[in-house]
């Protein structure tokens, strides 16, 4: 909307009329000049394939970080505080995905690449060899990661033939009788922690008349020694069930083996009813044994030892057409050539 000026500029206006912009400019001799320019028009530039490839990689890492943020805050030894640890967690994983995307565009990819959704930030991350922790600790405070395809036979508790178990294994030697001795056997101080993560695939069907809904989420367990248990308390099944305080995103199962030689902390899956499975897992330790915080390095891998992505037809060239609004173009040409 234009407006007139009074005094020496009475006959001149400033403002906008249609697509014209009116300005009043004062000259060196004190007079005024009416200046008219055309209104600038906004132009939209097309999204380039390289930019969309960057967005795809970023969306994958952001999706993973939403689930594992409490882990990222404590998993990078180089991070002086929680914020710096989380930044390093994001940075290293974005580099991993970007390098894999560029190097393995047409196949042999290590990460599983997602189809584009309406909102990039709601992309369902499908997993890959993410870096979960990084540091200089050269040993673990647990004995091994534990995958059991038939826990009904080997673990105490409420298991069925349709269950599988994914978790962390702690040996309980026969000559160790107290909680304090057990912590010493594990080389664990009261300040230490064991962390376990996994990418879980499962189905839910709240309404029997509707199709089941597919979910894929990262989950975590952060275990610290229970300060309420004294060093001289004798080891029993009940004590082991309370051996750790556990911060979790998915409620864990804590149980002992049928021969009492070890106990495990992890997740029981319902393979029959929910088609529930963990495609990736990782475990690491945080130790203060020498007075300084040290963290072991870990990355996601397959519990069954498979080195290939769990989902076929999910290389960048297979899915990238959906990111460019050209879903029928397969394989989509690499933007890095």
Q: In which element (H, E) is residue 255 found?
A: strand 253-256
Is residue 156 in a domain?
Answer: yes
Query: Where does the pLDDT of residue 18 fall: very low under 50, low under 70, confident under 90, or very high at 90 and above?
Result: low
Q: Is residue 260 part of a domain?
A: yes
Query: What percent of the chain is modeled with pLDDT above 90?
Result: 75
**55 and 106 co-located in one domain:** yes
Identify whether residues 154 and 203 lie together within a single domain. Answer: yes
Q: pLDDT tens-digit profile of 115-155?
A: 997 665 567 899 999 999 999 999 999 999 999 999 999 99
Q: Say if residue 177's pLDDT is above 60.
A: yes
Residue 134 and residue 53 share a domain: no
The average confidence (pLDDT) of the chain is: 90
Residues 6+ apart with CB under 8 A from 244: 194, 223, 224, 225, 226, 254, 265
Q: Judge if 286 and 319 occupy the same domain.
A: no
What is the model's pLDDT at position 33?
Answer: 73
Average pLDDT, stretch 199-219? Answer: 88
What average pLDDT score do residues 330-337 get? 94
Instruction: With beta carbons less than 8 A apart as the criterion, state whether 310 and 110 touch.
Output: no
CA distance 2 to 214: 58
Domain identity same for 319 and 212: no
Whether residues 203 and 94 fall in one domain = no
pLDDT of residue 39: 63
* Residue the block writes with tokens 């033939």: 161
What does the pLDDT look like over 52-95, one tens digit per residue? 999 999 999 999 999 999 999 999 999 999 999 999 999 999 99
Model pLDDT for residues 287-310, shown as the tens digit of each residue: 999 999 999 999 999 999 988 899
- Considering the domain boundaries, does residue 102 fall inside one? yes
Whole-angstrom Cα distance, residue 199 to residue 301? 10
Q: Are 210 and 310 in contact, with CB atoms under 8 Å apart?
A: no
Long-range pairs of 46-50 with CB within 8 A, sequence gap ≥ 24? 47/324, 48/335, 49/320, 49/324, 49/332, 49/333, 49/335, 50/335, 50/336
Within-domain flag for 115: no
Task: Quote the pTM value.
Answer: 0.84
Please provide the DSSP assignment of 136-150 as one string. S--S-SSSEEEEES-
Same domain? 140 vs 229: yes
On the question of pLDDT at 5 being above 60, the answer is: no
Residue 214 in domain: yes
| Contact (CB, 8 A) for 216 and 124 | yes
**7 — pLDDT class (breaks 50, 70, 90):** very low
Residue 75 contacts residue 132 (beta carbons within 8 Å): yes
Give the model's pLDDT for residue 276.
93
Please give the average per-residue pLDDT across 165-191, as a whole number: 97
The range of the structural domain enclosing residue 171 comes to: 129-308
Please give the average per-residue pLDDT across 223-227, as a whole number: 98
pLDDT tens digits, one per residue of 244-293: 999 999 999 999 999 999 999 999 999 877 789 999 999 999 999 999 99
Tell whether 11 and 98 lie within a shared domain: no
**What is the average pLDDT across 202-220?**
88
Residues 175 and 293 in one domain: yes
DSSP state at residue 45: P
The pLDDT value given to residue 107: 94
Q: How many distinct structural domains can be found in the chain?
A: 3
Return the percentage of the chain with pLDDT > 70, whole number.
Answer: 88
* Structural domain contains residue 117: no
Residue 175 shares a structural domain with residue 315: no
On whether residue 121 sits in a domain, the answer given is: no
- The span from the CA of 202 to the CA of 215, in Å, is 5
User: Same domain for 145 and 197?
Assistant: yes
Residues 244 and 316 both lie in one domain: no
H-run or E-run covering 237: helix 237-241
The span from the CA of 142 to the CA of 248, in Å, is 18
In this structure, is residue 195 part of a structural domain? yes
């Amino acid at each position: 909307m234009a407006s007139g000026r009074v005094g020496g500029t009475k006959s001149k206006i400033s403002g906008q009329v249609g697509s014209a912009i009116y300005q009043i400019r004062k000259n060196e001799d004190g007079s005024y000049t009416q200046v008219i320019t055309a209104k600038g028009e906004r132009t939209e530039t097309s999204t380039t394939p390289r930019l969309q490839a960057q967005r795809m990689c970023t969306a994958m890492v952001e999706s993973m970080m939403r689930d594992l943020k409490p882990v990222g805050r404590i998993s990078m030894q180089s991070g002086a505080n929680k914020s710096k640890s989380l930044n390093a967690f994001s940075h290293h994983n974005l580099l991993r995905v970007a390098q894999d995307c560029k190097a393995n565009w047409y196949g042999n990819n290590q990460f599983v690449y997602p189809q584009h959704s309406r909102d990039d930030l709601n992309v369902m991350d499908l997993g890959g060899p993410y870096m979960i922790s990084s540091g200089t600790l050269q040993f673990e405070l647990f004995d091994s990661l534990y995958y059991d395809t038939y826990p009904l036979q080997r673990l105490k508790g409420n298991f069925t033939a349709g269950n599988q178990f994914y978790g962390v294994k702690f040996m309980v030697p026969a000559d160790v009788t107290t909680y304090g001795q057990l912590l010493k056997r594990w080389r664990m101080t009261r300040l230490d922690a064991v962390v376990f993560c996994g990418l879980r695939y499962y189905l839910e069907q709240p309404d029997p008349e509707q199709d089941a809904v597919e979910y894929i989420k990262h989950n975590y367990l952060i275990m610290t020694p229970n300060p309420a248990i004294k060093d001289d308390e004798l080891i029993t099944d009940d004590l082991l069930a309370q051996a750790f305080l556990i911060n979790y995103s998915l409620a864990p199962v804590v149980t002992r083996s049928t021969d009492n030689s070890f106990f495990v902390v992890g997740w029981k899956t319902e393979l029959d009813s929910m088609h529930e499975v963990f495609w990736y897992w990782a475990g690491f330790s945080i130790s203060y044994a020498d007075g300084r915080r040290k963290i072991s390095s870990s990355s996601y891998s397959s519990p069954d030892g498979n080195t290939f992505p769990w989902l076929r037809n999910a290389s960048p060239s297979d899915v990238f057409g959906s990111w460019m609004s050209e879903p029928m173009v397969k394989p989509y040409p690499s933007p890095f050539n």
